Amino acid sequence: MNKDLILNEFSRVSQAMGWDSLHSPKNLASAVSIEAAKLLENFQWLSDIESELVCEDGDINKIAGDIADLFIYLNVLCHKLGLEPWDIVKDKMLLNRTKYIEQIVAKDMVQRAAEVYNPSPQPASPGMVRVEIPRSQAGNEAVDWEAVARKIANSRQELEAQSNRLKERHGKDDSHR
């Protein structure tokens, strides 16, 4: 769906209802916050795994409607502020990528320096998980992004397996009722 279609339809409904004067940037930002709260309400008491299964429930249409409302209000707000939604998203993603890759490299450099000056293994704090960032064979500083992607895919597969086990258990529990 293109942005102009969204803006034209929003404007048509807004004019028909006499709401044009109410759509200031402040009010649109408030509407975004309210719609985000409505979206969150769909997941409020669900576990992480239950939230993964929400697509199978009848609630998906309400969730889709809440997401659509957010998308509409954000597009209208961008228009009011003279911003191009896809440009600001692209710029933010590039900024995040740079920021977080730099953090990974900095943490790795600190870890390497600590290993040089203190080679004995340090006990991990309770509840802490040490994550190894795969390195390519080309050099110690290069992050092996393919290995990182494989780890992410494996974690998704594990989540799916846990979800299937939950579905099976839930199905068995329902049959006893």
Token couple for 80? 């009011």
* Partner residues linked to 135 by β-bridges: 143
Is the pTM of the predicted complex or chain greater than 0.75?
no
> 3, 75 in Cβ contact below 8 A?
yes
Structure tokens at 28: 């649109």
Token pair 């992004």 is found at: 145
At residue 135, φ and ψ (nearest 5 deg) are -110, 145
**Mean pLDDT confidence for 113-122:** 64
Which pLDDT value is given to residue 110? 76
Q: How confident is the model at residue 134 (pLDDT cuts 50, 70, 90)?
A: low
C-alpha torsion angle, residues 14, 16, 18, 23 (rounded to 10): 10
Q: What is the pLDDT of residue 112?
A: 74
Contact present, 10 and 72 (Cβ < 8 Å) = yes
Q: Which pair of tokens denotes residue 16?
A: 């028909």
Every domain of the chain and the residues it spans? 3-83, 132-177
**The CATH number of domain 3-83, selected from 1.10.287.1080, 1.10.10.10, 1.10.357.10, 3.40.50.720:** 1.10.287.1080
**Angle at CA 84, nearest 5°, toward 82 and 90?**
140
Asked whether residue 83 carries a pLDDT value surpassing 60, the answer given is yes
